[in-house]
A and B are shown apart, each in its own frame.
Chain A
Amino acid sequence: MKDSVQRLNAEYGLNLSDEEIEVIAKQAEAGQRLFQTLFEVDVEGIAPALKIDPAERQ
């Protein structure tokens, strides 16, 4: 994840310090762990809930 933050740092011209890169990488990793639980759900045949779907507004 640290590599990804470093790439972002270069692409966005952020001038992040090593410490800041570390903090952001840790935060992104924690997110990935949390989101991993979503991939364990059986979503066969389930379409994404998109709010642009007019049915969501009925």
Chain B
Amino acid sequence: MAEYTLKLRRYDPHTGEAPYYEEFQVDLEPHRSVLEAILQVKAQQDGSVGIRCSCRAAICGSCGVRINGRAGLACHTHLDKAAKTGVNADGRTILVEPMGNMPVIKDLIVDMDAVHWKKIQRVTPWLLAKEPVPEREYVVPHENMVDVTQTMACIQCGACVSDCLSMEVDPLFVGPAASAKAYRFVGDPRDAEQFERLKDLAEDPHGIYDCTHCFNCIEACPKGVAPMSQIMRLRRVASGDHHIEDRNNGSRHEHAFVKNIRRNGLLHEADLVPDSYGGKFHPRAVPELIASLPIVINGLRRGKMTPKKALLHEHKAPKEVKRIFDVVEGRDQRYELNLYISGTEDDESEAQA
């Protein structure tokens, strides 16, 4: 057994007073979970501590909280690990707070309806079945069903939503959980509205191109759903397969970047911004270029960039690089390895198997 100090963020909605931190001492084996510690506090010291919990086995998704500033499931986090995490870790104190980006109801309980479920509902989260519905089952490739098992594994715990940095600056962002849910349907061959779903989310200024690519959701997710990877897959299918050119410049930016590297080998930054808007003289790009003028002037003044550097393409991609672009982009189908499905070989003997 070992002693831990649980520092819980309390909020009493009855008084409406400011939230405060309360410390509780617990004595449990180090491999026990933070949830067990909190339940011990509830059972033995203060039954008013509020936390949602049910299965204790990381499958119901109830106990999403922030431990030492990072979202995760309380039942899934070992005490000894939690006490060691973070810059100020002392091997004993564990800070537990409610999840972020959602209003707090009481203590560690947040209002998921207001944020998480609202966004889930926004992506039409039910199968829009292809007609005609067959008499028996739809015949669908085995790989597709394994593929969507990754997003089906989402237990709606809200950890990804809690830590989403885009949502922090833009509460209207559709968010990682809803995007993963959207992929669950986009990747399901039985769904009839793949294009409509993608167009909707690509054109929404708070949609899939609002993701700031920070990996917080991948880090937070206890089930390997990797929401950010699903957002990238949605972008890939939207832009690559359906050629949806969204008004957020998302698809254009992606293509501009790729074109830029194919041509120059190294990123030629001066082209990237205008090309993302459609090209240097495109009507869309002009206001953006004008707005960027102060930046450009700053850069020129400081010697960060020179007119020569900006206008001429000093670097050129070696022809071997161009060839790689041609070969890989010329394939009939994209080859996508998903480690969630294929797993990782650990040793040579497996590689030969």
Instruction: Say if A and B assemble together.
Output: no
Residues of A at the B interface (CB closer than 8 Å) are none
